[in-house]
Structure 1
């Protein structure tokens, strides 16, 4: 039943997009992360985080996908896909509405409505702030800054904060128990901005009741990883 509801909302988003007044289409693909993580727990993980965008300046349709694949087993430790409509609400910020599906291996599927903001904060800080609303609601804030060392060498710090608004014991999430993921990546633009290999470090830790649930399940809380990957844009 939840799948049918999500499909219905997705159809509505696409219909709304198609009904937008005719303007020249813009489109593109951007992978902020396409990488391998080698953690201090000796588990390797392949990660992707990409957006595909098509639309106009007034209305964009976005497919966002994030995944974490365990080395060896090939299982999806995390898998999240979103269909989003993005539209300007001010000079530097867009409003976001959409749907999200979380379907990792070995865990129950979760579906959420999405309401949020995406844009450029003072200091050229790229931010996303989204509410994911369902029986297992949560809030997520993401921020990233690209610091140019040279025209091609770029240092990118990033942070992601996820705050469960309700308990979700199957996912080891406790209401108010935040999870913070921070990263620092040094990339080099080999082909303009289209292909930019990078190396960096990533750290993830949970707090409060979420940390208690993680420890109770026998998993490590507070994982540092060395990352190797590339940014892609076209």
Structure 2
């Protein structure tokens, strides 16, 4: 009898548990895969569908297999249908004032501040003087020791500048051989190049003026280039091309290869210049920057007159080429 009472009590306790509704548990817990509670005996038979009826088709298998996924790769706009694309500019972005600071400080106060900002960040006027070369040249072939200068200065802004150039050479204790002064208007035609035009005056070896048009700037691979065409008041057309490169050995020690080439469209007998390629001057200088603005250097320069100009030099009893050690200074301020 005791065993029968215990068995009846356990059956009465299990009946309410079996009748509990578990359908709401999935909303609070992690979703579980579909389970056949009828096959597991969890539900009474009257709540189970007939075994000969097919199970409802959810479409999760066949429809997924038959779906066309080819268009997924071209989907770039994830916004809702009819909405503006993600990269569109919201209309409210243009509703405010052009300068938001005017709302706080007032236009009268901000206009001078904006003009000052533009002037101090590229629009201001400034200047510089660069003494590229001032050097003594030592003759090792029995000639005369000489000197040379090459300097330029400019004043203006980033776009428009006035440029003044001068260069020349002579012999110690002797006459001045060549000298020239150029006054140029310089206009930036790109981030790294300026177009220059103006006039050139040569006081030596004979007084002569030229029209000048040229280009100056920084070529790819950090080559500094300066090229110009010169048309004299006597109809002579000449050209000059200079290029140099600063190779840093240390932060202060810099090796600079340099080359200068001169050409003439016609012969200039009074200056002992023939037509074609007239002169080439490759050189190598090693400078030490005591400070960036002050750098003494030593080097060597090879000067060679070529073509008809070399023939004219030989007829005059001169050596058309020669190698000269140089000692000089580069400075700017």
Equivalent residue of 1:80, what SS? strand
Displacement of 1:171 in angstroms is 0.8
Structure 1 residues 8-19: aligned runs within 5 Å: none
TM-score of the aligned structures, taking structure 1 as reference length: 0.86
| Mapped partners of 1:202, 1:172: distance in 2 | 21
Equivalent residue of 2:276, what SS? coil
| Mapped partners of 1:168, 1:128: distance in 2 | 23
Partner of 1:59: 160
Displacement of 1:52 in angstroms is 1.3
Displacement of 1:207 in angstroms is 1.1
| Mapped partners of 1:129, 1:172: distance in 2 | 22
- C-alpha root-mean-square deviation of aligned residues, in Å? 1.2
Gaps of 5+ in 1: 1-21
2:306 aligned with 1:207, yes or no? yes
Displacement of 1:87 in angstroms is 0.9
Displacement of 1:167 in angstroms is 1.1
2:209 aligned with 1:108, yes or no? no
The runs of at least 4 aligned residues of structure 1 exceeding 4 Å deviation read: none
> Which protein is richer in strand relative to its size?
1
Structure 1 residues 188-199: aligned runs within 5 Å: 188-191=288-291, 193-199=292-298
| Mapped partners of 1:170, 1:223: distance in 2 | 22
Structure 1 residues 1-234: aligned runs within 5 Å: 23-40=123-140, 41-73=142-174, 75-104=175-204, 107-134=205-232, 135-191=235-291, 193-234=292-333
> Which protein is richer in helix relative to its size?
2
User: Which structure has the greater CA radius of gyration?
Assistant: 2
Q: Name the count of aligned residue pairs.
A: 209
Displacement of 1:227 in angstroms is 0.3
Deviations 1:94-143 (A, max 9, x none): 10101111222xx3222111111111111100001111012121011100
| Mapped partners of 2:203, 2:270: distance in 1 | 12
